Amino acid sequence: MDDFVTVIFLTFAATLRVATPLILCAMGGLFSERSGIIDVGLEGKMLMAAFFAAATSAVTGSAWLGVAAGIAAAEVMALLHGFACITHRGNQVVSGVAINILAAGLTVVLGTAWFARGGQTPSLEDSGQRLLPIFFPNAGDNILVYVALAAVPLTWWIIERTRFGLRLRAVGEMPLAVDAAGISVAWLRYRAVLLCGFFAGLAGAYLSIAQNASFVRDMTAGQGFIALAAVIFGKWRPFSAFGACLLFGLLDAVAIRLQGVRVPGIGEVPVQLIQALPYLLTMFLLAGFIGRAVAPKAIGVPYEKEH
Amino acid sequence: MRVPRRPLPVWADIALLPLVNIALAFITVGIIVRVIGVDPFHALRLLVVGAVGSSESIGYTLYYTTNFIFTGLAVAVAFHGGLFNIGGEGQAYIGGLGCGLAMLAFDRYLPAPILIPVGIIAAALFGAAWAAVPAWLQAWRGSHIVITTIMFNFVAAALMVYLMVNVLIAPGSMTPQSRNFTAAAKIPAMHDVLAAVGIHVAPSALNLSIVLAIACCVGVWIFLWHTSWGYALRTMGHNPDAAIYAGTNLKTMTMLGMCLSGALAGFVGVNELMGVHQRIVLDFPAGYGFAGIAVALMGRSHPLGIVLAALLFGALQQGGAELAFDIPTITREMVVVIQGLVILFSGALVHLPRPWLQVLLSKRVS
């Protein structure tokens, strides 16, 4: 019986550990998407944040400076996205793709130039350089896990219960109405994009200085896209997106456990199938086979102020 | 109160603006190179020599160019229909799977003149099929093609890993790759072809796939501007309502545009597997699918522009590798940075320099 409880606890902990960056990233993506700005660049922001967090922590010896640097790096990318999409009304998907590719290249280029380890940052061995578990040493429950859990109700409250949130939703549905009410569409969207950068920055920092002890090239490995899938799967609502993140995290935790194990009656389940499930499920949802996912109406449409 | 924008003259719009955009991207690259402590002009010289300094490097440049032409055309064809295909990476991967499977199935029975067209057709069919699913989902179920093509890249990668590790791996092999194709499956290398007519160049990976790439450019040009289907596709891209009014079936056109796009991306598999590797390997698309977006944006989605942009990217890819070899602080990923910046400046920030040019040019006019 004790064994069973332990397995459940460890699987739960593993799920939460994997889901944390997804949750943080998804909450960021939610702010951006609800304001009408598509964010394909979550992956790139997270990657930049992971690199700068680990690099700063390795050089200064402070995990907190690392977190700050991670957030700053993601915010720079977010501002770039905002500058292209809001100020210059560029294509939001193109801008997001550019940010992803730029981040994939830049992190390796800078990492190699600064640390000469083939794109890796020096491993963080000091306890002060990493965010360590708080209550359960073998569960990996560092501070960012709790931040992620708190971020969900906070996001819900901001979007559903505050004046800012109301305007944010309005600007994602009908920017013309917001503009007519005398509120700046651009400033609202910039704030949404900055919030997105903040959360993506936390997610990146989590990857390199909490979950792992260094930055490795391409360490996000599609998690930004899984977070984006979770936002869509959660129908652009905080708690549903949180549920999707937990589901995707659970799938990942189960995939690791099922590696090479024969399930009675089914045989060996290919790990790759479980890894592809988040994408497949999201596609099924988008195709309207499981409920209906309706995006914010003005999403992806640059707002042109009339003169 | 803003002064209404005066439109740029046509020549500035199609020639000057893209050049300014590229220049901005390269100035940014120069700054990054300076930041990591390397003289940008020295790096540029090494890069140019590395890309076109010898017949071997020119061969490799053109070999990379071939891939960029395929993925650039793929993105461009979809663009003309108002469809944003980010799935080139997955379509190239599955296209390669298609031609690889055809080779494994027939290479012992068919002679090269039949086998090679079979491989090309298989690559096109598999690439098109992989693009057809997101196209169908968009046309009939209303799910957004950008999201579904992204998702399908990951599904393709997972599928290929599964197939290579569990099904297609050569018996006794430690690395996940299939058995070697027979010699009949090899697309002739350019240095062999040239040697046969008495021209001797250094061996490189360049093969006759580049002829296929040029043929695709001509084919796409004819299709888009000289057939009624191409016209319907472009109408859909410019104004879907007008297309409906003109009697175009948008669902069919979405399928057609995406399948063509997927087939073109699938040809990367021909160049890589039948031209070079001679077996199915993992990760051969290596970012060409994404780089195709940069190529299409830079080439203004016109076949001629795409050839020029693909040549630039091919030279960067080859020169970048040489540069990384000469200067250890610079890695090959510098090329990825350049691709990202080109997408940023020629795509998302395409209108950034427009007001500057308007000020400059209107002064001269008045």
Put simply, the answer to whether B297 touches A94 (Cβ < 8 Å) is yes
Contact indicator for A77, A103 with CB cutoff of 8 Å: yes
Residue A89 per-residue DSSP state? -
Put simply, the answer to whether A109 touches B146 (Cβ < 8 Å) is no
| Token pair 């032409």 in the structure block, residue | B69
Domains and CATH numbers, chain B: 64-309 (1.10.3470)
Distance from CA of A107 to the nearest CA of B (A): 9
**Quick one: pLDDT at residue A85?**
92
Contact indicator for A125, A203 with CB cutoff of 8 Å: no
Residues of B within 8 A of A100 (CB-CB) are: 290, 340
Residues of A within 8 A of B330 (CB-CB) are: 109, 112-113
Q: Which amino acid is at B61?
A: T
Candidates A112, A276, A287; nearest CB to B154: A276
Residues of A within 8 A of B162 (CB-CB) are: 270, 272-273
Task: Looking at chain A, list the stretches that DSSP marks H as alpha helix, in order from N- to C-terminal side.
Answer: 2-34, 42-60, 63-82, 92-115, 143-161, 163-173, 175-180, 185-205, 223-233, 238-258, 271-286
**Quick one: pLDDT at residue A144?**
92
B22 touches chain A (CB under 8 A): no
Put simply, the answer to whether B341 touches A102 (Cβ < 8 Å) is yes
Interface subset of B 159-198, CB within 8 angstroms of A: 159, 161-162, 166
Cα–Cα nearest to A20, from A275, A262, A230? A230
Q: Is the pLDDT of residue A44 over 90?
A: yes
Q: Is the pLDDT of residue B265 over 50?
A: yes
pLDDT in tens, A115-158: 888 788 888 887 778 887 888 777 778 899 999 999 999 999 99
Q: B147 or A29, which is more confident? A: A29
Q: What are phi and psi of B146, to 5 degrees?
A: -60, -50
Put simply, the answer to whether A288 touches B333 (Cβ < 8 Å) is no
**Quick one: pLDDT at residue B5?**
58
Q: Supply the Cα-derived Rg of chain A in whole angstroms.
A: 20
Residues of A within 8 A of B349 (CB-CB) are: 83-84, 88, 90, 95
B282 touches chain A (CB under 8 A): no
Distance from CA of A168 to the nearest CA of B (A): 22
Q: Which amino acid is at A149?
A: L
In whole numbers, what is the pLDDT of chain B averaged over residues?
Answer: 90
- B291-316 average pLDDT score: 92
Put simply, the answer to whether A85 touches B348 (Cβ < 8 Å) is yes
Angle, CA of B128, B132 and B136, to the nearest 5°: 165
Put simply, the answer to whether B347 touches A90 (Cβ < 8 Å) is yes
Put simply, the answer to whether A90 touches B350 (Cβ < 8 Å) is yes
Contact indicator for A206, A24 with CB cutoff of 8 Å: yes
B356 touches chain A (CB under 8 A): no
Q: Is the pLDDT of residue B84 over 70?
A: yes
Residues of B within 8 A of A216 (CB-CB) are: none
Report how far residue B53's alpha carbon sits from residue B46's, in angstroms, rounded to the nearest whole number. 9
pLDDT in tens, A156-195: 999 999 999 999 999 999 999 999 999 999 999 999 999 9
Q: Is the pLDDT of residue B360 over 90?
A: no
Beta-bridge partners for A268: A262
**Quick one: pLDDT at residue A231?**
92
Which residues touch A45 (CB under 8 Å, ≥6 apart)?
A: A28, A73, A74, A77, A78, A99, A103, A196, A197, A200, A201, A204, A224
Which residues touch B206 (CB under 8 Å, ≥6 apart)?
A: B59, B60, B62, B63, B66, B189, B190, B191
pLDDT in tens, B176-204: 888 888 888 899 999 999 999 888 888 89
Task: Among B36, B137, B140, B150, pick the best mutation site for testing chain A contact (most A Cβ within 10 A).
Answer: B150
Cα–Cα nearest to B206, from B99, B351, B87, B311? B311
Q: Is the pLDDT of residue B3 over 60?
A: no
pLDDT over 70 for what percent of chain B? 97
pLDDT in tens, A236-285: 999 999 999 999 988 888 877 777 677 776 777 788 888 888 888 888 87
What are A305's two structure tokens?
């102020």
pLDDT over 90 for what percent of chain A? 54
Candidates A90, A114, A279; nearest CB to B154: A279
Q: How many CB atoms lie within 10 A of CB B173?
A: 11
CA atoms within 13 A on the CB side of A253: 21
- A196-217 average pLDDT score: 94
Cα–Cα nearest to A227, from B154, B215, B190? B154
Candidates A103, A105, A110; nearest CB to B36: A110
Range from A81-85, A284-288, A294-298 carrying the lowest mean pLDDT: A284-288
What are B100's two structure tokens?
């690889």
Q: Supply the Cα-derived Rg of chain B in whole angstroms.
A: 22
Q: Which amino acid is at A77?
A: M
pLDDT in tens, B206-253: 999 999 999 999 999 999 999 999 999 999 999 989 999 988 899 999
What are B184's two structure tokens?
């009949």
pLDDT in tens, A146-157: 999 999 999 999
Contact indicator for A113, A55 with CB cutoff of 8 Å: no
Residue A181 per-residue DSSP state? T
**Quick one: pLDDT at residue A291?**
66
Put simply, the answer to whether A108 touches B336 (Cβ < 8 Å) is yes
Note every long-range contact of A302-306, with CB atoms under 8 Å and residues 24 or more positions apart, other chains counting: A302/A85, A302/A86, A302/A89, A302/A90, A302/A92, A303/A36, A303/A86, A303/A89, A303/A175, A303/A176, A303/A179, A303/A185, A303/A186, A303/A189, A304/A89, A305/A179, A305/A185
Report how far residue A188's alpha carbon sits from residue A236's, in angstroms, rounded to the nearest whole number. 18
Task: Looking at chain B, list the stretches that DSSP marks H as alpha helix, in order from N- to C-terminal side.
Answer: 10-11, 17-35, 40-52, 55-80, 88-106, 112-141, 145-162, 190-196, 209-226, 228-238, 240-245, 250-269, 288-298, 303-326, 334-343, 354-365
Put simply, the answer to whether A272 touches B161 (Cβ < 8 Å) is yes
Q: Classify burial at B184, counting beta carbons within 10 Å of its beta carbon; exposed 0-12, middle 13-18, buried 19 or more.
A: middle
pLDDT over 90 for what percent of chain B? 58
**Quick one: pLDDT at residue B276?**
92
Distance from CA of B35 to the nearest CA of A (A): 9
Q: Is the pLDDT of residue B1 over 50?
A: no
Q: Which amino acid is at B337?
A: V
Residue B104: pLDDT band by 50, 70, 90 thresholds?
very high
- B283-296 average pLDDT score: 90
Range from A247-251, A297-301, B187-191, B316-320 carrying the lowest mean pLDDT: A297-301
**Quick one: pLDDT at residue A307?**
53
B297 touches chain A (CB under 8 A): yes
Q: Is the pLDDT of residue B56 over 80?
A: yes
| Token pair 């450019």 in the structure block, residue | B217
Put simply, the answer to whether A101 touches B36 (Cβ < 8 Å) is no
Beta-bridge partners for B207: B189
Domains and CATH numbers, chain A: 10-122+143-286 (1.10.3470.10)
What are B201's two structure tokens?
């160049």
Q: Taking the CA atoms of A149, A155, A158 and A161 in sequence, report the sign of the dihedral they define.
A: negative
Report how far residue B145's alpha carbon sits from residue B150's, in angstroms, rounded to the nearest whole number. 8
Report how far residue A172's alpha carbon sits from residue A151's, in angstroms, rounded to the nearest whole number. 21
Task: For residue A226, give the chain B residue with the closest CA.
Answer: B151
What are B305's two structure tokens?
């522009």
Task: Among B89, B154, B290, pick the best mutation site for testing chain A contact (most A Cβ within 10 A).
Answer: B154
Candidates B1, B158, B334; nearest CB to A109: B334
pTM attached to this predicted model:
0.90
**Quick one: pLDDT at residue A98?**
93
Distance from CA of A283 to the nearest CA of B (A): 6
Which residues touch A149 (CB under 8 Å, ≥6 apart)?
A: A23
Distance from CA of B300 to the nearest CA of A (A): 14
Report how far residue B113's alpha carbon sits from residue B156's, in angstroms, rounded to the nearest whole number. 30
Residue A306: pLDDT band by 50, 70, 90 thresholds?
low
**Quick one: pLDDT at residue A191?**
96
Put simply, the answer to whether A116 touches B144 (Cβ < 8 Å) is no
Q: Is the pLDDT of residue A203 over 90?
A: yes
Which residues touch A146 (CB under 8 Å, ≥6 apart)?
A: A134
Task: For residue B37, give the chain A residue with the closest CA.
Answer: A113
In whole numbers, what is the pLDDT of chain A averaged over residues?
Answer: 88
Provide the 3-class DSSP secondary structure of residue A116.
coil
**Quick one: pLDDT at residue A69?**
96
Contact indicator for B348, A84 with CB cutoff of 8 Å: yes
Residue environment code for B37-64, b if the CB has 16+ CB neighbours within 10 A, otherwise e: ebeeeebbebbeebbeeebbbbbbbbbb
Residues of B within 8 A of A283 (CB-CB) are: 137, 143, 148, 151-152
Put simply, the answer to whether B150 touches A105 (Cβ < 8 Å) is no
Candidates A89, A102, A287; nearest CB to B143: A287
Helix (H) or strand (E) holding A268: strand A267-268
